């Protein structure tokens, strides 16, 4: 993540906790992996709680939902009696990809917010707002 985006998400405690948890490697026992998956699931669910105002947009909320779904699937597969190794490996790779996409989406929002508005653009946006229309 670039410095500008990093500065904006530094105060997002839930995101930092999630990244810290995901970067910690569990011990080599199945029980440790199961506990790790359960903890990740809890941390992922907490991502929805205090989304910073600038990032509280539909794009970010949908990315969070995808991450939560992947983490919960991983948690489910890890807790099965017969663990499907190939599915778990595939899910871990997909989860890493979704986290990258999530971070790219945050960077995109920050970049778009830095583009200055042209003269009269704000008035044009107001005119397109259908909630301001005169009722019949």
* pLDDT tens digits, 75-112: 999 888 888 889 989 999 999 999 999 999 999 999 98
CA 6 to chain centre: 14
Return the closest-CA partner of residue 92 out of 106, 78, 107: 78
pLDDT value at residue 7:
84
- Return the DSSP state at 116: P
Q: What is the pTM of this model?
A: 0.80
pLDDT at 19 over 80: yes
**Rounded CA separation 103/29 (Å):** 31
pLDDT value at residue 136:
65
- 77 contacts: CB under 8 Å, gap ≥ 6: 83, 84, 87, 88, 91
pLDDT value at residue 62:
93
pLDDT value at residue 66:
94
């Amino acid at each position: 993540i670039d410095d500008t985006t990093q500065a904006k998400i530094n105060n997002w405690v839930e995101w930092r906790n999630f990244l810290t948890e995901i970067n910690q490697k569990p011990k080599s026992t199945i029980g440790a992996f199961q506990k790790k998956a359960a903890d990740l699931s809890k941390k992922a669910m907490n991502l929805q709680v205090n989304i910073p105002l600038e990032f509280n947009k539909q794009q970010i909320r949908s990315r969070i939902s995808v991450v939560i779904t992947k983490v919960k699937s991983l948690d489910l597969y890890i807790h099965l009696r017969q663990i499907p190794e190939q599915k778990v490996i595939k899910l871990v790779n997909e989860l890493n990809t979704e986290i990258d996409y999530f971070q790219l989406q945050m960077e995109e929002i920050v970049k778009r917010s830095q583009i200055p508005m042209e003269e009269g653009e704000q008035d044009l946006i107001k005119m397109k707002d259908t909630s301001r229309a005169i009722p019949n």
